[in-house]
Structure 1
């Protein structure tokens, strides 16, 4: 079921289904809730799943001025307060992952656990495996056709508004986000960092994201790209639900990063 909520002056479309602990799914840039199709039903069988579409995405209209991750994180905070009404798990894919990280930083009391897929904490030119792809992402390009069709099918602004939104999003990717490892170190929620082994973000950037966040887990999915939730939905769902269930409660036979005692203490293999 879907409907609108007026949040911070943004008429925000969202859908909700299932019962249980609240779980908010945050879609990727230039995408809609349709891209969660491979995971949605299974997650809704275990959680009360909420799916907001951010400003200028899907059924939610564009706003005046540029798009920023911080504004969208503010919208997400308002969504948690006014629609969900309780702390929730956040699962964010790509841009949705950036929004999840910013929300967890700004309002830790509203975030129970976080899972981010193909997320970044620095602008595209600093973390994309192929930064030149930004130059190729023009509104009418063949590479943008998938996103253009998603947008045109449901936007209340009309298909003719696509070039405006596409340029806003690409401009955002060029210059945002601008977090550093000190910011990430303040994230309090247990966080799963997931990526494909051939993701849009470099593996070095993904590893730096994981390494900077306390209580984090890392999952690099073999044989997968930035579209890993579509390519390997069963594995992605299992990794997410295991993380949301157990959070920071990780026990291994030979901890190093998670060792409570100084490195080198304890028993070896």
Structure 2
């Protein structure tokens, strides 16, 4: 099933399949729901799985302005409301980890649990903020493709850039589908996001924090800044920032194990 917009609110492009517990999968910057296609089959046999495109990416229309994490969280909420899903597990990759935290902060009652996949609750450093401005300016002057070509290989573990060259190429092709406005809006929105470590610390929801051993985007000191009985922290060996493409089977296993444990606790 696919859709793009509703008459009453912005609705992301998405696809869904399966029955049972709702699971929402959200991609990172200059990606699309296609990032999750190798994870999708392992989950859809057990759950109702929804993969959505971030505003301005792939099948989701672009709108003007800065795309704040709060706005992207509202996009996810609109999807849940459109299909009358009272509660769901939401797993956000990178950029979408930031918006998932915004969702968990404002609408915790709409979540069964959530996961940050290669993401962090911390705000950008000053250096990173400057980098966001440079990215937005490069999109304006050189186009989306130039940013995609420079960024995507760095998302894979160094060894995988050659060993998985076909997947790097596939990720680039996905990136080219982003609009210039989507790329700029999200870059500036990430720059503005606040620190949300308090959300991880204070939430009553179960949380999955999943990192890649060789992730060069999220350094080790920013991956697990909060610990607690409600938080499961996992590092996937041999992966960078793209485990959904680098090791989709292992990522799917970790998501299933997380959901099964928490549904068992709930029972």
TM-score for the superposition, normalised by structure 1? 0.78
Tell me what 1:168 maps to: 185
The question of 1:88 aligning with 2:88 is answered: yes
Tell me what 1:79 maps to: 79
**Unaligned stretches of 5+ residues in structure 1:** 156-161, 251-269
The question of 1:70 aligning with 2:85 is answered: no
Question: Which is richer in strand?
Answer: 1
Contact 1:94 1:117 survives alignment (8 Å): yes
Cα gap change, 1:2 to 1:122, in 2 (>3 Å): same
Cα gap change, 1:41 to 1:248, in 2 (>3 Å): closer
Ranges of 4+ aligned residues in structure 1 off by more than 6 Å:
none
Tell me what 2:213 maps to: 197
Contact 1:27 1:92 survives alignment (8 Å): yes
Tell me what 2:41 maps to: 41
Tell me what 2:114 maps to: 114
Contact 2:148 2:175 survives alignment (8 Å): no
Distance 2:119 2:87 in 1: 22
Tell me what 2:160 maps to: none
Q: How much does 1:196 deviate?
A: 0.4
Where 2:39 maps in the other structure, the secondary structure is helix
Cα gap change, 1:28 to 1:46, in 2 (>3 Å): same
Question: Which is richer in helix?
Answer: 2
Where 1:198 maps in the other structure, the secondary structure is coil
The question of 1:246 aligning with 2:257 is answered: no
Q: Which region of structure 1 is more displaced relative to structure 2, 214-223 or 187-196? A: 214-223
Q: How much does 1:34 deviate?
A: 0.9
Which residues in structure 2 correspond to 1:145-164 (within 5 Å)?
A: 145=149, 149-150=173-174, 152-153=176-177, 162-164=179-181
Distance 2:209 2:81 in 1: 25
Where 1:168 maps in the other structure, the secondary structure is helix
Q: How much does 1:150 deviate?
A: 2.6
Q: How much does 1:179 deviate?
A: 2.3
Kindly provide the CA deviation profile for residues 235-268 of structure 1, in whole angstroms up to 9, marking residues without a partner as x.
Answer: 1111110001102979xxxxxxxxxxxxxxxxxx
Which structure has the larger Rg over C-alpha atoms?
A: 1
Q: How much does 1:39 deviate?
A: 0.2
The question of 1:228 aligning with 2:243 is answered: yes
Q: How much does 1:151 deviate?
A: 5.3
Tell me what 1:144 maps to: 148
**Unaligned stretches of 5+ residues in structure 2:** 153-170
Total equivalences in the alignment: 239
Q: Cα RMSD (Å) of the superposition?
A: 2.8
Q: Relative contact order (C-alpha < 8 Å, sep 6+): which is higher?
A: 2
Q: How much does 1:185 deviate?
A: 2.1
